[in-house]
């Protein structure tokens, strides 16, 4: 059974305190590992797609990495505006676009 | 960048009412759109895949007669919740695929009284 697990469930950081979010996945035939950011009452906003182990992508204070079993989202020197729920999703082999989401990590960055 | 518009953003209605939610891809064409449901503090659960010009594909456990999907054009998919009841109250989100990435609308908060 395809499964995506994120940890921790919640993370509280001081501004400037770097940390990492974990996404472990068990899927038969990964078609991309996606990271999204979701603000309260909004739909997910696309951040990154990773396709192969060893791949890394960066955007401002965020950096995503991928291994054969998990992905990490590193937040470097976070600011309060980085507060959000971060979702990872595995693209499934049987359909382009079909995603299996993890439960998300809620990040709160305090000044 | 790719933009997906969803309307309405929130609906409050009485039990037994049918509610239609629209999902539009604004600057790209989408042969495939997706409908998700999200409960508080939980992740997105795929309900169905909407295919332009053909029948939608529903996930296991989703009642196709309850959640009617129509994808009549390359930029519009609609989800109709028929005879809605309080247990149908949820946050419904659509997405559309632009090349290899799904882009999401801002969701519809549905509250059935």
Query: Is pLDDT of B53 > 90?
Result: no
Q: pLDDT of B2-21, one tens digit each?
A: 689 999 999 999 999 999 99
CB B101 within 8 A of CB B2: yes
How does DSSP classify residue B87?
Answer: G
Q: A3 or A66: which carries more pLDDT confidence?
A: A66
Q: pLDDT of A53-98, one tens digit each?
A: 999 999 999 999 999 999 999 999 999 999 999 999 998 866 667 8
Q: Which residue has the tokens 């990492």?
A: A20
CB contact under 8 A, B95 and A102: no
Residue contacts between A and B (CB atoms, under 8 Å): 54
Q: What is the pLDDT of residue B40?
A: 83
Q: How far apart are CA A25 and CA A6, in angstroms?
A: 9
Alpha helix segments (H runs only) across A1-111: none
Q: pLDDT of B20-52, one tens digit each?
A: 999 999 989 988 899 999 988 888 999 999 988
Over chain A, what is the mean pLDDT?
A: 93
All residues at 6 or more sequence positions from B55 whose CB lies less than 8 Å from its CB, including other chains: none
Q: Is the preceding omega at residue A8 within 30 degrees of 0, hence cis? A: yes
Distance from CA of A4 to the nearest CA of B (A): 11
Q: Which residue has the tokens 């632009």?
A: B98
Distance from CA of A77 to the nearest CA of B (A): 26
Nearest by CB: A103 against B6, B43, B100: B43
Q: How far apart are CA B4 and CA B84, in angstroms?
A: 25
């Amino acid at each position: 059974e395809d499964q995506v697990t994120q940890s921790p469930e919640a993370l509280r950081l001081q501004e400037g305190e770097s940390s990492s979010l974990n996404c472990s996945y068990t899927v038969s035939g990964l078609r991309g590992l996606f990271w999204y950011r979701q603000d309260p009452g909004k739909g997910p906003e696309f951040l990154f797609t990773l396709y192969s182990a060893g791949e890394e992508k960066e955007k401002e204070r965020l950096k995503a990495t991928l291994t054969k079993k998990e992905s990490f989202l590193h937040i470097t020197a976070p600011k309060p505006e980085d507060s959000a729920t971060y979702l990872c999703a595995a693209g499934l082999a049987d359909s382009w676009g079909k995603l299996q989401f993890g439960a998300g990590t809620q990040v709160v960055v305090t000044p | 960048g790719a933009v997906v518009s969803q309307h309405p953003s929130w609906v409050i209605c009485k039990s037994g009412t049918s509610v239609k939610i629209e999902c539009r891809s604004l600057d790209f064409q989408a042969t495939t759109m997706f409908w998700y449901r999200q409960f508080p503090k939980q992740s997105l659960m795929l309900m169905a895949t909407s295919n332009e010009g053909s029948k939608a594909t529903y996930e296991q456990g989703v009642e196709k007669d309850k959640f009617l999907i129509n994808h009549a054009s390359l930029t519009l998919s609609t989800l109709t919740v028929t005879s809605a009841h309080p247990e149908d109250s949820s946050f419904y989100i659509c997405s559309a695929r632009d090349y290899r990435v799904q882009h999401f609308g801002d969701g519809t908060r549905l509250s059935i009284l």
